[in-house]
Structure 1
């Protein structure tokens, strides 16, 4: 059993060493292949990107490289969870930090309207009178408050 686990860990290490991901920038002008260590294996630029100037090229390449590296790291987390189990993956995340896709996850928030909402009118509080018959509360629990 222990020998099988050691072989699985060695196989996982070999798999993680060669894990790369290729990501295309959302504008379609750049494609980068990167490893989980951040090594850029390939960078492909569309000629139209070069016409936008060096600042734009740098920003697009940097952003695409970050996306590709995050994808490779996420693939590594996924492979580790498959090989070692979710419990071990959770332990690794507690040490190394959240996986890229978990740390960039944002819940959908409805857009705020342009006009500020008027505060809701508050009804004046009605005092709760002492009722000697407590059964009245249980007959209609919403009528007392």
Structure 2
């Protein structure tokens, strides 16, 4: 019982700090989505209210997902993987398992360079393509 109470206290006090991929906003949030701290870069404020709202909303979502993931991780360490799997089957997948969320962009300029593009071979027209799509038996 004491271990369960301790786990509840730790998860209740848990927060995660996340920076938006563009680096203009940083949020500390709880797993419940409570915003504990919000830092805006002055350059963001010059982009207008809609841009500020979008970046803040995205960053809060990333921070909340990171905090929820941290609580799943802490629960799995305390209760074991079997219990964590049972909780996920009830509550749904953990945020980082269900979606991929970039938390911090790469800082190395070499990592930010786009990969080289290869030329595609020219498209060859298929004379039977129209016949396939015109056949009503193939449609659903």
Q: TM-score interval w.r.t. the shorter chain? A: 0.7 to 0.9
Match of 1:82 among 51, 66, 77: 77
Give the TM-score normalised by the residue count of structure 2.
0.72
What is the Cα-based RMSD across aligned positions, in Å?
2.2
Find the structure with the greater CA-based Rg. Answer: 1
TM superposition shift of 1:73: 0.1
- For structure 2, the residue ranges without an aligned partner over 5 or more in a row are 102-116, 125-140
Q: Which residue of 2 aligns with 1:45?
A: 40
Q: C-alpha deviations, 1:38-65, integer Å up to 9, x for none? A: 0000110000000000000000000000
Counterpart of 1:72 (choices 67, 75, 82) is 67
Report the CA distance shift for 1:81/1:117 in structure 2 as closer, same or farther (over 3 A): farther
List aligned pairs for 1:115-134, cutoff 5 A.
Answer: none
Which consecutive aligned stretches of 4+ in structure 1 deviate over 3 angstroms post-superposition? 113-118
Segments of 5+ residues of structure 1 without an aligned counterpart are: 1-5, 119-145
What CA distance in whole angstroms lies between the structure 2 residues aligned with 1:65 and 1:10?
A: 28
The answer for the alignment partner of 1:57 in structure 2 is: 52
Matches of residues 22-37 of structure 1 in structure 2 within 5 Å? 22-37=17-32
Deviation per CA, 1:84-118: give whole Å up to 9, x if none.
00000000000000000000049xxxx9x866876
TM-score by length of 1: 0.70
